Amino acid sequence: MADKKIIAVMGATGTQGGGLARAILRDRRSNFAVRAITRDVNSDKARELARLGAELVTADIDDPESLKRAFAGAYGAYCVTFYWAHMSPDKELAEAKALAEAAKAAGLKHVIWSTLDDMRKWVPLSDARMPTLLGKYKVPHFDAKGEADHFFRDLGLPVTFLLTSFYWDNFIYFGLGPKQGPDGKLAITLPMGDKRLPGIAAEDIGKCAYGIFKSGRKYIGKTVGIAGGFLTGAQMAESLSNALGQEVRYSEVSPEAYRSFGYPGAEEMGNMFQVKRDFEKQYCGARSIKTARSLNPELQTFDEWLERTKGLFQAQLQPAGVTA
């Protein structure tokens, strides 16, 4: 244990960091050890990581000194920010800057920055096809992450930029799953037209990140785009129908309609899907299933992921109550 290289993992009790932490901890012959960063070492999720062999360290992404302490003495760090906890791209930029500075202060040998595309390179603010949000963003949670790349680059860090994809888990946990329409039929609703949406089983992101750390210097200074599949709305609906044993339709709406759905973040999600639709070639081209599988041989297809998770969907689809 003492001679293992420590990876400090932000969000270790969450989705991306949790996937990485579990990937390392389950690999009995790993040369790496996990330092799980959490705000609460007593939470059930933190305790479970400790049970699996992780060191627990307390830090808050909004407290730069705590990040420096959490990264000190580590070999590497997995850096991810938590946009949906506050929905402020400016705050996300400050958090990414603090992560980069803490990595520099600790002299880390390898940093993975979980980034996304700055969509403004395809849709500048002057482009009227979608509204500008918060004065200077088109898709705040993408644009801020992409913009933040420079904090890592400017400090000369040994960094790998990890371009992630839409979590298929959003169909379970983000309210995007099949819903009954007025006709009683199930449908997934997306403004993607007939274009392909790169997606991935969220657990596979951390497994790919582990593959990057295991590759030594190979991906330092590189951008690595990963996906588990590139599927159209119609294809995802067909797979859902097969997995759930009942018809799920693809309900295609316009980005304008999607932006007006009214849930928190609907406007930026409408913009996000519109960029993915209108720049399908570039957006898909920045991601590779082949690379993801080379980093993580257990990479799941959408159908394989559905086979594992269909029980969670079915539980959500149970009628809440039957009235006479």
Ligand X SMILES: NC(=O)c1ccc[n+]([C@@H]2O[C@H](COP(=O)([O-])OP(=O)(O)OC[C@H]3O[C@@H](n4cnc5c(N)ncnc54)[C@H](OP(=O)(O)O)[C@@H]3O)[C@@H](O)[C@H]2O)c1
Residues within the interface to ligand X (CB under 6 A) = 11, 13-17, 38-40, 43, 46, 60-62, 80-85, 116, 141, 164, 166-167, 170
> Cβ 142 to ligand X, closest distance in Å?
8
Tell me how long the chain is: 324
Please, what's the b/e burial string for 123-147 (b: 16 or more CB within 10 A of its CB; e: otherwise)? beeeeeebebbeeebbbbbbbbbbb
C-alpha dist (Å) from residue 176 to 162, 222, 250: 24, 32, 12
> Cβ 282 to ligand X, closest distance in Å?
17
> Cβ 69 to ligand X, closest distance in Å?
13
- Nearer to ligand X by C-beta: 164 or 274? 164
> Cβ 322 to ligand X, closest distance in Å?
33
- Nearer to ligand X by C-beta: 82 or 185? 82
Strands 5-9 and 32-38: parallel
Query: Is-contact 181 147, C-beta < 8 A?
Result: no
- Nearer to ligand X by C-beta: 40 or 247? 40
Q: Which of 191, 208, 154 is nearest to 275 (CA)?
A: 191
> Cβ 250 to ligand X, closest distance in Å?
18
Question: Positive or negative, the Cα torsion across 291, 220, 16, 155?
Answer: negative
Q: State which amino acid sits at residue 250.
A: Y
- Nearer to ligand X by C-beta: 46 or 292? 46
**Nearest position to ligand X, beta carbon:** 14
Spatial neighbors of 249 by CB under 8 A, at least 6 apart, are: 181, 185, 186, 187, 188, 237
- Nearer to ligand X by C-beta: 5 or 39? 39
- Nearer to ligand X by C-beta: 18 or 76? 18
- Nearer to ligand X by C-beta: 172 or 185? 172
Query: Is-contact 19 201, C-beta < 8 A?
Result: no
> Cβ 2 to ligand X, closest distance in Å?
26
Long-range contacts for 171-174 (Cβ within 8 Å, ≥24 apart)?
Answer: 171/240, 171/313, 172/309, 172/312, 172/313, 172/316
> Cβ 200 to ligand X, closest distance in Å?
8
Spatial neighbors of 181 by CB under 8 A, at least 6 apart, are: 187, 249, 251
